[in-house]
């Protein structure tokens, strides 16, 4: 739809003037010719991410001052046009946008809600590699009060910021394609007042440089990463660095208030990362570790290479969970939020596997404990294979998701089950996954018809027989 004289929308009969973007439930609407869609196409989150291009790399050159809460800088985004583009969108929440360029030439832009529409001087042909640069500044504001997600995004703290963005809070600190279906590489150049540490993903590319009372930290993440796993957590931190027993770089950082947790965090993170590599396959990234900040958002987040624990000293269970996400969620990422159990069910099952490995409760015992939840329990009413946008992190996605894996393990046996976990990782390393791909691989490896099992555990709003 969307011809020159305007078109009539069959659903509403309204006339959509040409050049206008009629908001549609799927986030696309009637777009002017050659416009990239304002959503990537996730029906549960229609305006998240964008269409028409694929990001290859972000280069974020940012300065932040905790005293004034002012952030300013430039985001350089290298991308490939997947269609002809007369205009395209980035996601950005708040800030004043200064200059926008495309391939070095000034571009026009428009803003509406959290959509930043960039209009290059001349259309980008399909297949073109292009660079867009956005200069912006302002006070970052986290996302708050959105259904049951709590506070997330760039969260200012007393001495810096706690930056945890799942599901769609990256837009609170940089413009981009804010949906897990577009992974990219990242470079960060972060300037903060001297004495503050800036922790981003991947590795420091050199020693921090201090000049005129300010320190610049350069980090880079050389493995594909989704936007919600990017971080620039800032503050006073005590660090411990080294390598795990198997040789993986390990960095633990804690707010001074959690000084007493540093060695435990460092040691457990190393030990658990090494163990997961024997169960799930080689560690996908360049380093492991964890960060404890003096701020509670009420959760932890598996930020790539640097899981973040908000205001508490993490125990083995949650460290096992966040590190399992480095495989499930970070290396293998979901294309649509409805498949979230592929992250959370697996990370929860990993907690049970870690306990089993420690000689504590077996996964079978843990499964039985949860299975005993009465018929009226929320986990039986919520089908975990279809995570809901208004209740994304429901307990069912975690617990019943984990139970689904145990029911599968019972059905196909340990040998096929653990081969499945490794093959799943090997086949989709650094890529995207769907529930259908997982159930198909489980059937292939086991040679069993598993439709009934997956249907009962993932898709029925009732307690499965066990
Ligand atoms: N993925 C995180 C975990 O289970 C949970 C993140 C919750 N995010 C939120 N905005 N509430 O480890
Ligand atoms: Zn999790």
Please list the rounded mean pLDDT of every run of 10 residues in the chain (466 residues). Answer: 31 35 51 96 97 98 98 98 98 98 98 98 98 98 87 96 98 98 98 98 97 98 98 98 98 97 98 99 98 93 98 97 99 98 99 98 98 95 97 97 98 98 98 98 98 98 94
Ligand 1 lined by 166 (C-beta under 6 Å): yes
Q: How far is 212 from 182, CA to CA, in rounded Å? A: 38
Q: How far is the CA of 150 from the centre of ligand 2 (A)?
A: 15
Nearest CA to ligand 1 atom 10: 149
Q: Is 309 in the pocket of ligand 1 (CB under 6 A)?
A: no
Nearest listed ligand to the Cα of residue 328: 2
Query: Which residues have C-beta under 5 Å from ligand 2, the single-atom ion?
Result: 344, 347
The preferred substitution site among 153, 163, 166 for testing ligand 1, maximizing ligand atoms within 8 Å of CB, is: 166
ipTM value > 0.95: yes
C-alpha span between 43 and 370 (Å, rounded): 31
Q: What is the 3-state secondary structure (H, E, C) of the chain?
A: CCCCCCEECCCCCCEECCCCCCCCCCCCCCCCCCECCCCCCCCCCCCCCCCCEEEEEEEEEEEEECCCCEEEEEEEEEEEECCCECEEEEECCCCEEEEEEECCEECEEEEECCEEEEECCCCECCCCEEEEEEEEEECCCCECCCCCCCCEEEEECCCCEEEECCCCCHHHCCCECCCCCCCEEEEEEEEEECCCEEEECCEECCCCEEECCEEEEEEEEEEEECHHHCCEEEECCEEEEEECCCCCEEEEEECHHHHHHHHHHHHHHHHHHHHHHHHHCCCCCCEEEEEEECCCCCCEECCCCCCEEECCCCCHHHHHHHHHCCCECCCEEECCHHHCHHHHHHHHHHHHHHHHHCCCCCHHHHHHHHHCCCCCCHHHHCCCCCCECCECCCHHHHHHHHHHHHHHHHHHHHHHHHHHHHHHHHHHCCCEECHHHHHHHHHHHHCCCCHHHHHHHHHCCCCCCC
Between CA 102 and CA 79 the distance in angstroms is 11
Tokens of 328: 């499930």
Cα–Cα distance measured from residue 431 to residue 367, given in angstroms and rounded to the nearest whole number: 30
Point out the ligand nearest to the CA of residue 301. Answer: 1
Give the side-chain half-sphere CA count within 13 A for 65: 8
Residue bearing the CA closest to ligand 1, atom 12: 301
402: preceding bond cis by omega (within 30 degrees): no
- Report how far residue 333's alpha carbon sits from residue 304's, in angstroms, rounded to the nearest whole number: 12
**Protein residue with least CA distance to atom 8, ligand 1:** 166
> Which residue is closest in CA terms to ligand 1's atom 5?
301
- Distance between terminal CA atoms of the chain? 50
The set of residues, in sequence order, having a beta carbon less than 8 Å from that of 163 and lying 6+ positions away, is 153, 154, 155, 173, 230, 231, 232, 233, 234, 308
Interstrand relation of 15-16 and 108-112 (parallel, antiparallel or unpaired): unpaired
Q: Is the minimum distance from the CB of 301 to ligand 1 under 6 angstroms?
A: yes
Residue 302 near ligand 1, beta carbon < 6 Å? yes
Q: Is 276 in the pocket of ligand 1 (CB under 6 A)?
A: no
Between the CA of 158 and the centroid of ligand 2 the distance, in Å, is 26
Count the Cβ atoms, other than its own, within 10 Å of residue 186.
27
Atom of ligand 1 nearest to the CA of 167: 10
Residue 29 is predicted with a pLDDT of 61
Q: Which ligand is nearest to the CA of 302?
A: 1
255 lines ligand 1 (CB under 6 A): no
By the 8 A CB rule, do 129 and 170 touch?
no
Q: Which two tokens stand for residue 289?
A: 């570790």
For ligand 1, the distance from its centroid to the CA atom of residue 14, given in whole angstroms, is: 40
Asked whether 152 lines ligand 1 (CB < 6 A), one says yes
Which ligand number lies closest to the CA of residue 164? 1
CB-facing half-sphere around the CA of 165: CA atoms within 13 A: 29
Distance CA(420)–CA(441), nearest Å, equals: 7
**Which atom of ligand 1 approaches the CA of 151 most closely?**
10
115 lines ligand 1 (CB under 6 A): no
User: Is ligand 1 within 6 A of the CB of residue 351?
Assistant: no
Contact present, 75 and 48 (Cβ < 8 Å): no
Beta pairing, strands 15-16 & 7-8: antiparallel
CA 116 remoteness from chain centre: 21
Q: Which two tokens stand for residue 441?
A: 């691989």
């Amino acid at each position: 739809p969307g011809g020159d004289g305007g078109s009539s929308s069959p659903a509403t009969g309204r006339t959509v003037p040409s050049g206008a973007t009629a908001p549609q439930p799927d986030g696309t609407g009637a777009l002017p010719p050659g416009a990239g869609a304002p959503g990537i196409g996730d029906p549960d989150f229609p305006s998240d991410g964008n269409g028409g291009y694929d990001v290859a790399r972000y280069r974020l050159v940012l300065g932040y001052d905790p005293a004034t809460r002012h952030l300013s800088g430039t985001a350089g985004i290298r991308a490939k046009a997947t269609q002809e583009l007369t205009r395209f969108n980035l996601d950005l929440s708040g800030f004043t946008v200064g200059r926008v360029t495309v391939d070095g030439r000034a571009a026009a832009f428009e803003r509406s809600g959290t959509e930043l529409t960039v209009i290059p001087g001349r259309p980008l042909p399909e297949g073109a590699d292009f660079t867009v640069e956005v200069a912006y500044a302002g006070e970052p504001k986290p996302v708050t009060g959105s259904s049951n997600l709590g506070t997330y995004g760039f969260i200012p703290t007393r001495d810096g910021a706690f930056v945890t963005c799942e599901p769609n809070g990256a837009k609170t600190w940089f413009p981009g394609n804010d949906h897990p279906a577009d992974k990219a590489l990242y470079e960060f150049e972060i300037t903060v007042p001297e004495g503050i540490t800036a922790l981003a993903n991947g590795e420091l590319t050199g020693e921090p440089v201090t000049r005129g009372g300010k320190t610049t930290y350069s980090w880079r993440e050389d493995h594909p990463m989704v936007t919600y796993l990017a971080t620039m957590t800032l503050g006073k931190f005590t660090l411990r660095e080294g390598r795990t027993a198997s040789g993986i770089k390990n960095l633990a950082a804690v707010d001074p208030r959690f000084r007493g947790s540093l060695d435990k965090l460092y040691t457990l993170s190393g030990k658990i990362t090494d163990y997961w590599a024997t169960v799930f396959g080689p560690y996908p990234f360049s380093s492991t570790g964890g960060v404890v900040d003096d701020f509670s958002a009420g959760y932890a987040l598996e930020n790539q290479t640097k899981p973040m624990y908000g205001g508490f000293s993490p125990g083995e269970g949650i460290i096992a969970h966040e590190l399992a996400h480095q495989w499930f969620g970070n290396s293998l990422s979901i294309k649509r939020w409805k498949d979230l159990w592929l992250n959370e069910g697996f990370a929860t099952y990993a907690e049970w596997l870690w306990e089993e490995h420690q000689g504590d409760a077996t996964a079978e015992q843990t499964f039985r404990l949860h299975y005993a939840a009465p018929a009226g329990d929320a986990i039986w009413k919520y089908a975990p294979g279809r995570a809901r946008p208004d209740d994304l992190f429901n307990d069912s996605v975690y617990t019943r998701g984990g139970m689904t894996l145990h029911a599968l393990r019972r059905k196909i046996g340990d040998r096929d089950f653990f081969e499945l976990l490794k093959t799943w990782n090997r086949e989709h390393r650094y890529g995207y996954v769907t529930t259908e791909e997982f159930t198909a691989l489980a059937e292939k490896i086991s040679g069993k018809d598993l439709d009934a099992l997956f249907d009962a555990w993932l898709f029925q709003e009732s307690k499965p027989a066990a």
